[in-house]
Copies of this chain bind each other. A is one copy, B any other.
Amino acid sequence: MSRPTIAGVARAAGVSVASVSRVLNGLPATEEMVERVQRAVQELGYVPDARARSLKVGRTFQLTLAVADVGNPVYVTMMRAVEEIVSAAGYRLVVTTTGPDVVDEVALVRGMARGYADGLLISPIRVDEDLVKSIRECEVPVVVAGNVPAKAGVDTVRANSPKGMLLAVDHLVAQGRTRIAFLNGPADTVPGAARSKGFTEALKAHDLEPAALAEATDFTFAAGRATAPELLGGGFDAVICANDLLAVGLMHELAAAGLEVPKDVAVVGMDDSELAEQCFPTLTSVNLGSAERGRRAAELLLARIEDNERTPRRIVVQPSLSIRRSTP
């Protein structure tokens, strides 16, 4: 037995399909009509087909959130914030994962033309010409949580990494740490590049030289551990890491090397994700506003779906510092 269609309901209720559709959509109808239709719907367990509906009305009432790595806790924060906004607006949120490769991101953006959803919220980790082009030409509204060139002509909401870096360095310097090292993620990524630049500027503002630099191959715990040894022996008393996963990976290697956090080495992460308070010692971390970025991005997406002619906005969310036990 196949699922009942609107025609089946109409037959069972002894009315026309048009009337069933009207009742289901709350359009004017007599009380008796409403009652008859609702009973038939109930009896048959009828549920409207979303594909057919969206084919007709041109909207799916679904939104897609695309992230690079579901294992990165910063996305958890963001997803929760986005979910809250879009579900309150009556949309269903579906999450897909792209992986670290830009071609997969491009494929995903292009694929939106298939009509999966009414909008896309993407947080790209690598950005190239192709991606910018695909976003600009995307058939559905796109909002980028991250940094793409203004010429992309798209709503963006991004973090202020340099400012965040400055908060971290300010804090470390105030605690008397001046030999500061930096554990970055891949420099060919958008966040990687931004944080590298921010770190350099922040040190310059304090007239400091980097004590050591290293670049992990990914923004992951495993990469943090694997890359940490490059830093060791660098004569630093503090390390800033490009995200929390890297920081936690580093802390394990520091412990293995017999260094104590924060006594011997202070550690600062970035993202202020759930992991920052789960790890031990708890991690001082730059809050780059992932929850707020999620909220704002979701709001921009909803607004653009409402009116696609509005001029693109570029929102920057300001950072703050969450001080915990990994810094003195």
Contacts and interface: CB of A to CB of B under 8 A. Distances in A.
B60 A71 contact: no
Most central of A52, A60, A95 by chain B CB within 10 Å: A95
A94 B92 contact: no
Given A137-B45, A251-B280, A50 B274 contact: no
A155 B277 CA distance: 38
Contact of A79 (B70, B92, B139, B282): B70
B96 A95 contact: yes
A313 interface: no
Contacts of A245: 278
Interface in A45-82: 45, 47-52, 54-55, 60, 62, 64, 70-71, 73, 76, 79-80
Nearest to A281: B280
A251 B277 CA distance: 12
A42 interface: no
Interface in A97-112: 97, 110-111
A115 interface: yes
- The interface size bin for chain A is 35 or more
Most central of A83, A97, A114 by chain B CB within 10 Å: A114
A206 interface: no
A83 B97 contact: yes
A22 interface: no
B274 A221 contact: yes
A51 B252 contact: no
A116 B50 contact: yes
Nearest to A261: B280
A3 B139 contact: yes
Interface string A276-316: 01111010000000000000000000000000000000000
A141 to B, nearest CB: 13
Contacts of A113: 3, 45, 47
A76 B83 contact: no
Interface of A: 3, 45, 47-52, 54-55, 60, 62, 64, 70-71, 73, 76, 79-80, 83, 92-97, 110-111, 113-116, 137, 139, 221, 245, 248-249, 251-252, 255, 274-275, 277-280, 282
